[in-house]
Structure 1
Amino acid sequence: MTASSENCVESKTSLAGLAPLEAVLFDIDGTLCDSDPLHYYAFREMLQEIGFNGGTPITEEFFIETVAGKHNDDIALALFPGDLQRGLKFVDDKEAMFRRLASEQLKPLNGLDKVRKWIEDRGLKRAAVTNAPRPNAELMIKILGLSDFFDAVIIGGECEHAKPYPDPYLKALEVLKASKDHTFVFEDSVSGIKAGVAAGMPVLGITTRNPEHLLREAKPAFLIKDYDDPKLWAALEELDKVGGPRN
């Protein structure tokens, strides 16, 4: 790699403009943990049970396009466009199945403990910002051992608009009393990245399950594989050099 191309890569993965850093915001599903396979399994099994799509199991592509990262009200409308009440009852039942699966199978994303320590060592503010229902969000945070880590848990359904609107991220900034100019976001879905970008913050897209080309279209600052990705740590080290956290 030439020096000029190295500089180009560095400029694309820089967070230095956020110094001094104040806060870090996290989505939950697919961002703190690889939960999408559990959601996909629950949707696939339950939709097949009721004969959705003629009894043919939904595909992973259908799940990504119709379900991943979206709010349950929108999912209910997409699956049952002529019967919203049935759709809402279905997604509630599906969430109960997801919680049973999560209690047994949920695991943190690679490197999560490392990035958690980095944030704690610098005394940064932090919030979880999710379209998941509160019972799901609180369960996942508890299973991952993060109940004492987050200063706030912001639920999209408790805001005027859920993601992809910026409202949940703007509410997180308000609750934390943090500036968008000194905060960045970890996200894994198109709707989540769009929400963070619309709220005026750089978003680090995590390629847990969603296709990279779709994530890029949502305009993340850059993409990482997980919290062990060298691109992330190069950006955080540069941020440390430029200026520490705000007091």
Structure 2
Amino acid sequence: MTAGENSVQIKKSVPDLAPLEAVLFDVDGTLCDSDPLHYHVFREMLPQIGFNNGVPIDEEYFIKNIAGKHNSDIAVLLYPDDIPRGIKFMEDKEAMFRSRLALENLPPIKGLYKLTKWIDDRGLKRAAVTNAPKPNAELMISKLGLKDFFDVVILGSDCERAKPYPDPYLKALEVLKVSKDHTFVCEDSVSGIKAGVAAGMPVVGLTTRNPESVLMEANPTILIKDYEDPKLWEALEELDKRIGSSKTSA
């Protein structure tokens, strides 16, 4: 399956997943609003290498070309004729990001702990699935107090292909031993939504930073503002009802 095969429409809604087995989360922008920090680091560092003739990138460029993408792809964008140099730049950029992150108090996406409690109460499996480097993912997850929440962290770099390809989400399903027919994904970027859809799962898209019109092109099942959005809880309540009905009929 390729990233371009996202034209296949995912017909299932969240309630259709009953009985639910697992929930998969992206990290950047999905657990916490870290994109502004990434953006400011890029704005500071890119002019130093003469990118865009030394003019700092704007947020539109960041969203379209950088947000949610794997570092190897960004390295190609920055240094198409010298990939090792691009990779070194990205390593330096991530080191600066972590140093800033360590000093920042990045709040969780509103309602995140309400959702994690809902997941905990039902004994569901869960994974963090991210294109972020391992040190970044671990630092963010730790700062959010979710180190013991996730059963596993799946990195794009651990897979043959990172997002927007489905490989990281398919690996999460395999490691957790759950079915795509009973799992949904939470994502905030076009790249991540495409990956979840290509893996055959409904995707709950968050409009944390990316425009709703742009995210809709990736075919999420629903779009929510944050984890307190009534649309999400209506879907989860309906899911609980269907699970309850199936147990009663059994």
- Output the TM-score relative to the length of structure 1: 0.92
Q: 1:48: how far off?
A: 1.6
Give the fraction of aligned pairs with identical amino acids, expressed as a percent: 73
Q: Which residue in the other structure is 1:47 paired with?
A: 46
Question: What one-letter code is carried by the residue in structure 2 that aligns with 1:170?
Answer: L
Q: Which residue in the other structure is 1:82 paired with?
A: 81
Q: 1:50: how far off?
A: 2.3
In structure 2, how many angstroms separate the alpha carbons of the residues matched to 1:45 and 1:58? Answer: 9
Stretch deviating more after TM superposition (105-114 or 161-170) = 105-114
Q: 1:14: how far off?
A: 4.3
Q: CA offsets, 1:97-134, max 9 Å, x none? A: 11111112222110011001000000000000000011
Q: Which residue in the other structure is 1:140 paired with?
A: 140
Q: Which residue in the other structure is 2:112 paired with?
A: 112
In structure 2, how many angstroms separate the alpha carbons of the residues matched to 1:17 and 1:212? Answer: 24
Q: CA offsets, 1:3-60, max 9 Å, x none? A: xxxxxxxxx9942110000000000000000000000011110112222212111111
Q: CA offsets, 1:143-162, max 9 Å, x none? A: 00000000000000110100
In structure 1, how many angstroms separate the alpha carbons of the residues matched to 2:161 and 2:225? Answer: 29
In structure 2, how many angstroms separate the alpha carbons of the residues matched to 1:103 and 1:18? Answer: 38
Q: 1:80: how far off?
A: 1.2
In structure 1, how many angstroms separate the alpha carbons of the residues matched to 2:174 and 2:159? Answer: 12
In structure 2, how many angstroms separate the alpha carbons of the residues matched to 1:54 and 1:177? Answer: 49
In structure 2, how many angstroms separate the alpha carbons of the residues matched to 1:196 and 1:95? Answer: 25
Is there any run of 5+ residues in structure 1 with no aligned partner, and where?
A: 1-11
In structure 2, how many angstroms separate the alpha carbons of the residues matched to 1:128 and 1:15? Answer: 19
In structure 1, how many angstroms separate the alpha carbons of the residues matched to 2:13 and 2:163? Answer: 25
The correspondence of residues 159-174 of structure 1 with structure 2, limited to 5 A, is 159-174=159-174
**Contact 1:18 / 1:181 at 8 angstroms: preserved in 2?**
yes
The correspondence of residues 115-126 of structure 1 with structure 2, limited to 5 A, is 115-126=115-126
Is residue 25 from structure 1 mapped to residue 31 from structure 2 by the alignment? Answer: no
Q: Which residue in the other structure is 1:241 paired with?
A: 241
Q: Which residue in the other structure is 1:217 paired with?
A: 217
| SS of residue paired to 1:95 | helix
In structure 1, how many angstroms separate the alpha carbons of the residues matched to 2:127 and 2:12? Answer: 23
| SS of residue paired to 1:219 | coil
In structure 1, how many angstroms separate the alpha carbons of the residues matched to 2:154 and 2:181? Answer: 19
Is there any run of 5+ residues in structure 2 with no aligned partner, and where?
A: 1-10
Q: Which residue in the other structure is 1:62 paired with?
A: 61
In structure 2, how many angstroms separate the alpha carbons of the residues matched to 1:62 and 1:190? Answer: 14
Q: Which residue in the other structure is 2:181 paired with?
A: 181
| SS of residue paired to 1:126 | strand
Is residue 201 from structure 1 mapped to residue 201 from structure 2 by the alignment? Answer: yes
**Contact 1:13 / 1:235 at 8 angstroms: preserved in 2?**
no
**Contact 2:13 / 2:202 at 8 angstroms: preserved in 1?**
no
Corresponding pairs, count: 235
**Contact 1:14 / 1:238 at 8 angstroms: preserved in 2?**
no
Q: CA offsets, 1:167-198, max 9 Å, x none? A: 00000000000000000000000010000001
Question: What one-letter code is carried by the residue in structure 2 that aligns with 1:192?
Answer: G
In structure 2, how many angstroms separate the alpha carbons of the residues matched to 1:97 and 1:109? Answer: 23
Is residue 153 from structure 1 mapped to residue 153 from structure 2 by the alignment? Answer: yes
Is residue 128 from structure 1 mapped to residue 128 from structure 2 by the alignment? Answer: yes
